[in-house]
Amino acid sequence: MSNEVTCTQSKFGKADLYTMKNANGMEVQIMNYGGIIKSIKVPDQNGKFDDVVLGYDVFEDYLSDKSFFGALVGRYANRIAKGQFEIEGTTYQLAQNSGTNNLHGGENGFHKQFWTVEKTSAEDGFVYLFLKYKSADMEEGFPGNLEVQVNYILTPDNELAIYFRATTDKATHCNLTSHSYFNLAGAGNGNVLGHILKINAHAYTPVDENLIPRGIESVKNTPFDFSKLALIGSRIDKENEQLKITKGYDHNYVLDNPGDMETGLTADAIIAKVIDPESGRTMEVKSTEPGVQLYTANFLDIEKGKDGKRYGKHGGFCLETQHFPDSPNQPDFPTTLLMPDELYETITSYKFGVR
């Protein structure tokens, strides 16, 4: 194994592809198109490397993708009811691209944009890729010119950190996330129902028939309780009103103890842990966000993913760190309103290991 730490550039269709490698051999590939994480290759308990995120081998498949594989999502991750919100007496109408809701910023949100690469470097065991994007006033219906910076940092400890920063010149709503689908057995290697999951949350936001939160409720004595390690698939088929609505998990969790930007992502900021018993791979998630969306790919049906493998129902899971869905219309939720004199700043990391 080479102990060289590198960040190299190549072409991938119309996109530039950046390959980040640390001294342990962990490799992360990221496109300037959509800021998409194309691959993450990490070892299992026997030292065998596999790609653990879902995606495609052909660039054009990302252009037509509807699943948000690996993408940076904005201006607003998750759903906004009726695609509407009001700021200072003005109502803004967004695209209704998911039923009556706005989902993940609209049809041509951040996931469909080419980002500018501001910097790449590899030094002191770390690998850096800095991206930026300017979202113009009223792009996809959102007010304000929003200047966004996203920094990907690969550490010597097999941790991929994603730092988000944004400023605006007009009051707007901002809620950014990364939307990778993980399968710790390897992309396309079966479903994730046998993965073991823990989420450090004792409450979640149940949804109505339009998938919009209807408040905050305890997870106690429900299939949504992952406050202790449990199989993802152990209760997914349970007769439950919420699981019937979403055909699996597609819910936001109210995190018990997320980190904060002042202290950074300390050990106390772990918000979730996932284990694949077969490969022995583990993933720990840390974040400064107040919520995380657990999504179990309930409608996934991709005939040809990487290496020609099929991605079926529950073929991956997402842990999308975020503010809560529909926060612009729910004053009891943590606010997503960003003012011109404020800085939007958040960080999430995914650390890979073995049991």
d(CA 147, CA 107): 20
Q: Please check whether residue 350 is in contact with residue 318, taking contact to mean a CB–CB distance below 8 angstroms.
A: no
Q: Compute the Cα dihedral for 28, 263, 343, 97 and give only its sign.
A: positive
Q: How far apart are the C-alpha atoms of 166 and 149, rounded to whole Å?
A: 6
Residue-level length of the chain: 355
Encoded tokens for 252 = 């936001």
Q: Which residues of 163-172 are buried (b: 16+ CB within 10 A; e: fewer)?
A: bbbbbbebeb
Q: 75: cis peptide before it, omega within 30°?
A: yes
Q: Say whether 179 is catalytic.
A: yes
Buried b (16+ CB within 10 A) or exposed e, 37-52: bbbbbbbbeeeeebbb
Given 139, 140, 289, 320, which residue is catalytic?
320
The Cα–Cα gap between 344 and 338 comes to 7
DSSP string, 117-176: EEEEEEETTEEEEEEEEEEPTTGGG--S-EEEEEEEEE-TTSEEEEEEEEEESS-EE-B-
Q: Is 202 a catalytic residue?
A: no
179, 195, 314, 323: which one is catalytic?
A: 179
Distance CA 168, CA 334 (A): 19
Q: Which residues contact 140 (CB under 8 A, 6 or more apart)?
A: 75, 94, 95, 105, 106, 107, 108, 109
| Residues with catalytic roles | 179, 320
